[in-house]
Structure 1
Amino acid sequence: MVGFVLAFALAAAAGCGGGGGGVSSPAAVEAAPSVLIESGRVTDEALAAVFDGESVNRAVVSAFVAEVMALTEEERLAIAADLSRRAELEVARLSGLEAALGGTAATEAALTGAWAPVNEAIAGVAPELAATPLDGDASLSPESTQPEGFAHPMAVPAPNGMASIGLLLGGMGLGLMVDPLVSSANNFTKDQYSEGTLSSGVVVSGAVEQSTLEMSFDGTQDGVAVKFNATVVVHPCPDPSGNFDMTAKIDVKTSKGAVGSNAAIDMKINGQVDDDAHIASSTTEANTQWADFAGGKGQFLDYTVGVPSSGDSTFAVNRTGGAVSTDFVRMAVLMSTMFVYMVKDKMLQAAENAWSSGRCVDLKVTPSAGPDGLDPGQVVSVLAEPRSKVDGSPTGGNVTATLKAGVQSVEPNGSPVPADANSNYTAGPEQDQSGTVAYESRSKRGVGKAEVTFNTGAPAAYLVVGGLQDWQVNMVVCDITKPFTLESPGVGVAEFSGGLSGTYSATGVFNFSYAGTYQVILSDGLGSPGTMSGTSSGQIAGQAGSGTENYVLTPAEPCE
């Protein structure tokens, strides 16, 4: 009975007050018992006051929620762990498992032992997700069964010691591991995919549009067998309308011979993202199907709780069968509503963290010049185009350009502009100055991020040596980032557009005339050695021809 009271209290609090968190007036809080939680346990007085057998006391619920939300995460987990243990023992009594084991003490010992390996396995999943290194490869190496591409540098708490037995243990575990699961694929490219076995009983997969976790663990003690299965599927990238969805499922069977129980919780979350890439609303629905079996005395329940982000929560007993008792219904309500309470917000936050990281949107930024080798004071126009990584379509929304470091300025600076967006960067007034501009797009499809560093480098002087056949060059170009000329003595001259790539044309003896494109490759940016190749076609002495010239570029002293 005590478990049902708390579950109903939490569910009612989630929906009472039109989404205001269930906090009632000071007068209502005064009507609650003076002590609601003591030594990590809900007091009997608080549980008795929450529900009188017919209706929920919203004053007590509001006071309880206010007190629970003021606690640390560890303290909340401890309270849930205690309630999970009490609920599991009640179900064991109803199912006939307690009688088969010979009493409450023997039942608790057997369940604790059977759940121990399951508990340990669940507790290890989140840290292992966080610790698996990211190598950027979308496939598994033949030497390892670990999925490559799952990592998140964060400290992940583990529920070890919080609970020994109970379905809520799985709920707590899923709540802890969903963020490292989802964030591990936040840096994936559009076509990257990773799948594999993280550890025994744990399979993970990830892509831009989906992250999935599957767990399957077993435990046995004194003839009591626990089979635990769970699946989490998160689609963190909103569709063009801003919709996203997630599911979490837990299935547990506890048995000894012909007696025991089955429990399955299926939670679905549907959300809506606003034009500024924040969660606008969400709806969570958890369906519980629970069955006890004890020879011919089987009983079952199908129950659903719905928790919208605003408005009242809903509770529905869809169907029952056999000799279903009030206590059995209470335990089912406890499991379903507590599961929602422990997991919902963490899953929503993990999804928002994902689309806010740039996972779902590719922000293409194209400057009209540079970004290297700009003239002092040069104005560069920049086009920012956010595109969905899922389907490649324009995301709409706004783009904001902000001067993050250096000089000189960007306009508009820090103000959103409708996508696709143009902005202007003004280079610093002197040579060897740089400025870094951060670009961020926000829309119903998520957040796109990009960064460009512009600089006014000193003139890039190079000794250019090479050519093709009779066309040979050995001369210094004072700045390859600007238009320049190469001359092959006695053969002809070639005019280059300037920059690290571009076009050129050449004329010379025997009426030859060639045109083509060129590419400069530098080992470590401007000022480092490199090569240049040019491919052209044309005619000489009336005959058509084509070819590729190859040059070696060596940094030279500045010149004019």
Structure 2
Amino acid sequence: MTPSKHVRGFVLLALAGLALSLASCTQGTDDPTTDTSVDSRIPTQAQLDAFVAEGPEPSLQALRPLDYWLHYRLLQATGVEEALGGEARTVAALKALAEDYERQARGTQAQVPKMIPAAFTGEGMSSGFLGLGMGTFGGFMTGGLLSGMVADASDDKLAELAKEGPIKLGGKEGAAQVTIGSDGSISQEYTYEGKIADGLTGKIKMKMKMDACPDAQGKVTVVSDVDSSVRVTGKEGTGGYVHSKFVYERWLDDDAQLMQGPDGSSSKMDLRMGGYENYASQHVDISAGWSRGGRETFENRGEQGFSIFRPDEVQRTQQLMQGAQLIQTLFAEMMLRGSGKQTPWESGRCVELKATSTPAKRKGAKPSTHYQVDAMPRAKSDGAPAGGTVTATLSGGSSLEPASGKVPADAKYAYTGPANKDEAATIKFEARSKRGVGRATLEFDTKEMHAYRITVFPGCSGVSGKDVCDLAKPFSIQGVGCGGGVTSGMTFTPSGNAAGKMHWKTGVGVISADFSGTYTVEEGEEVGYLHTTLTGCAMGPGAKACGGTGPSITMTRIETCED
């Protein structure tokens, strides 16, 4: 399968502008940046949609040349090629190792081997995963899907996933685990071992992490770290490694949107290759990418013992590296944007919007009460003011000022409550900033309050009371008191404000009682009563007594109440 025109066009367009500047970069340059800058390397939504729709195969095919090229050059420079008996056998062993990794990752048999060009360049390889490919495959198969799921998950579900710890995948040959943080961040780890009879063994470790909440500068980061090592089975002290670290940074604006243009992103791929022949160490260390603002960077930080790349191969290696980096950029962008209805930082888990009113009493208020309302967004990670803006939407009466539009945070509003009795209104707030999105709701009404503090056994200290905000909703009262000797549990199931059913279990020492029946409500301006009619039995050692009882429970009216 060849790369689709969407992905191939995206990569080639970027490479065309990079080739001349990359060709001039050499080891020891004091200023590793070039003078070339671009408007933006951030994928458009159309490119991202096409990328997701096409699936991973075109991009995996585009990554294979760099993976195979780097690993082959490593084996050639460290004496592995000679130990295996030449180019053809080395390529065959490398392909077999990569296909073993792919089989483990996919859980299926490898594709049928195809002809390999005699002058090996990494092109034409249609199967197998090595370092970058394995990392990208894992990221695509879990990262994009999980980020959408996590963004849409409830706080309770996310807390449950975080508490349960890593989600473990794979079997005996390859292990993988995904860890979901309580803020929606995602960490992935993969380990695969390849054991091939053609003379090569290998191991791949991949770690990937995606932020869910922006930092104080509005930055979110995706990091992919891949270690790939190979060695000759019959020659101790001969082998090598390829280590790549890809860091993709994105910034949000004050409307919690990913910024476009050159200030919206930065990217860096560090590539370290090393090897040992008869235990003699050698390495090369290069990096490429772009800084925030769009300036390209390339740096060869040094070589020791040998040069893996001959001078005429440097430009080709740099171009392959840039192409792989752009493919990884698409994967990272897909993870950040997710496949859900919202991005992770829009879920409300990054910003707490504290909405308050003065006066604080909003339920059972007098008609046309005047309120000052404050909406204060705070970043959950550090408690700092989030800045940005707040939008308030009023449903119901009477009036809100400002009535519409974005108000700079911390936002202040003047609200006049419903004008008539038995009316309700709601104000919904949304805060947006570079720290994410926060939401809150305040409810107001002028309904008659049926809120009371109910006390069980007045004068018997320690037995809990209960603030009941609405006598028409089920409630219960539990407690232990009277020197620790009395336990009491009452459950009320109303049929309205004035009556309902009741169940009461109580006990002292080895004596217990269980009663059921009905109750009626006597409301008053200050004090009211729950009048009960109950039947049941009291039991103790060797004794049981049954009958009826009817205690009246005291209720004291309260002005404010929170469910």
Which band: TM-score by shorter chain?
A: 0.5 to 0.7
CA contact (8 A) 1:211 1:233 kept: yes
CA displacement at 1:401 relative to structure 2: 1.0
The TM-score normalised by the length of structure 2 is: 0.58
Q: In structure 2, how many angstroms separate the alpha carbons of the residues matched to 1:396 and 1:51?
A: 43
The question of 1:439 aligning with 2:422 is answered: no
CA contact (8 A) 1:358 1:448 kept: yes
- Counterpart position of 1:202: 176
CA displacement at 1:77 relative to structure 2: 3.9
CA displacement at 1:299 relative to structure 2: 6.1
CA contact (8 A) 2:144 2:335 kept: yes
CA displacement at 1:253 relative to structure 2: 1.4
- Counterpart position of 1:547: none
The question of 1:230 aligning with 2:230 is answered: no
Alignment of 1:5-44 (within 5 A): 10=11, 13=14
- Counterpart position of 1:167: 131
CA contact (8 A) 1:361 1:388 kept: yes
RMSD, aligned CA: 5.1
Alignment of 1:44-193 (within 5 A): 71-73=50-52, 75=54, 77-91=56-70, 93-94=72-73, 95-96=75-76, 100=84, 103=89, 106-107=92-93, 110-120=96-106, 164-173=128-137, 175-176=139-140, 177-179=142-144
The question of 1:401 aligning with 2:387 is answered: no
CA contact (8 A) 1:167 1:335 kept: no
Letter in 1 for 2:223: T
CA displacement at 1:278 relative to structure 2: 3.4
CA contact (8 A) 2:454 2:467 kept: no
- Counterpart position of 2:514: none
| Aligned pair partner of 1:266 in 245, 259, 263 | 245
Q: In structure 2, how many angstroms separate the alpha carbons of the residues matched to 1:217 and 1:11?
A: 32
CA displacement at 1:250 relative to structure 2: 0.9
Please give the per-residue CA displacement for 1:105-143, whole angstroms capped at 9, x wherever unaligned: 744651343212442279xxxxxxxxxxxxxxxxxxxxx
Letter in 2 for 1:383: D
The question of 1:416 aligning with 2:406 is answered: yes
The question of 1:315 aligning with 2:298 is answered: yes
How many residue pairs get aligned? The number is 416
Please give the per-residue CA displacement for 1:52-89, whole angstroms capped at 9, x wherever unaligned: 99589x9xxx9xx9998895445484333223334444
Gaps of 5+ in 1: 17-21, 23-49, 123-160, 472-517, 534-549
CA contact (8 A) 1:463 1:555 kept: no
Q: In structure 2, how many angstroms separate the alpha carbons of the residues matched to 1:442 and 1:463?
A: 39
Change over 3 Å in CA distance of 1:109–1:238 after alignment to 2:
closer
The question of 1:337 aligning with 2:322 is answered: yes
Q: Secondary structure at the match of 1:324?
A: coil
Change over 3 Å in CA distance of 1:7–1:313 after alignment to 2:
farther
- Counterpart position of 1:125: none
Change over 3 Å in CA distance of 1:54–1:245 after alignment to 2:
closer
The question of 1:325 aligning with 2:325 is answered: no
- Counterpart position of 1:291: 274
- Counterpart position of 1:383: 374
Q: In structure 1, how many angstroms separate the alpha carbons of the residues matched to 2:131 and 2:327?
A: 12
The question of 1:360 aligning with 2:350 is answered: yes
- Counterpart position of 1:555: 497
The TM-score normalised by the length of structure 1 is: 0.58
CA displacement at 1:450 relative to structure 2: 1.7
Q: Secondary structure at the match of 2:166?
A: strand
CA displacement at 1:252 relative to structure 2: 0.9
CA contact (8 A) 2:369 2:416 kept: yes
Gaps of 5+ in 2: 26-35, 109-124, 338-342, 479-489, 500-520, 525-563
Please give the per-residue CA displacement for 1:361-419, whole angstroms capped at 9, x wherever unaligned: 1112223455544556555443222222112233233222123x556554324422232
Q: In structure 2, how many angstroms separate the alpha carbons of the residues matched to 1:89 and 1:464?
A: 74
CA contact (8 A) 2:23 2:314 kept: no
